[in-house]
Structure 1
């Protein structure tokens, strides 16, 4: 389940069941093929299995492995412990924290309650950075005045394919992960997803 946090309250953002059916163009009509002609193309299964070839062995192995039902949860790839910032903090403090910890997103809290999300991109739009990396102007602004107030969150047991779908559909770069107490416990970014897909052994995401 995905939940949108906003100043107006919480609302459901998306579930797999709510994803609309893809619309495709009507298929081109194909003339019916006579069964007798198809019968001529049917392979002799007994003769194939009597002398298993490399192809048959590969097919049987693939069929056996395809019965696995592996689902990767977002809890396995999220970054934790979560690093946050208060809405009353200055942009200079947020920029310093992002730079030191090499992160691009900071969930914004108000007395442990999630109220926003601040990205490095949002900070850089409001400040001027010197050649040495220090802030020259704009660092005195408050985080609460710049942060994104509408945040999409999800739960620890969400399938990472759903997370990838939300990244694409809503054009967001990060999701805050919430526990059963509605407290932020982690964050997952596009980069986290790509890093996990690139690791060895290969990530199995089939069901």
Structure 2
């Protein structure tokens, strides 16, 4: 079984040697709305701001909570705070991480793109923006073919493809994907490194 968690890296996460704060749903607190949970302190807070002020919530040991879904996070206006996506395989005990917001001082040549799949063409693509176009449009890019499409419906159709270099595209943010109504088509997140050959897949988390 695979568990997926979405985390926010608060300002003190390195000091705690932590991956960050988990976005969770705990029915006993916050009226069922998303709150944050800190593994190291084994504590809940109603919001990121409350956690940073050490305003923790006392809950019973019997309280059950679960990881918030990507849809719930977006619906509650927290999409811009998702820094890390982590999976944990309960059988193999393996963890995997993809960092959405890379610290440029650590690795400026890694990018995490949300992925989608066109069922008709059985082809996977990534949501991207193209800075040199000077617009806010979302484009649909195939890393394998170095092509982009202007609509999700057309993705995979060679007659509507435009050749383009992969190093000129950047990831579309989660908030923009949600606002444009494309969240339902997201199937995962893929981390790429930028090299001489363009974007090269490094790691992937499938939802």
Could you say which structure has the higher helix fraction?
Answer: 1
Bigger radius of gyration among the two: 1
- TM value normalised by structure 2: 0.24
Higher relative contact order by CA 8 Å / sep ≥ 6: 1 or 2? 1
- TM value normalised by structure 1: 0.24
Could you say which structure has the higher strand fraction?
Answer: 2
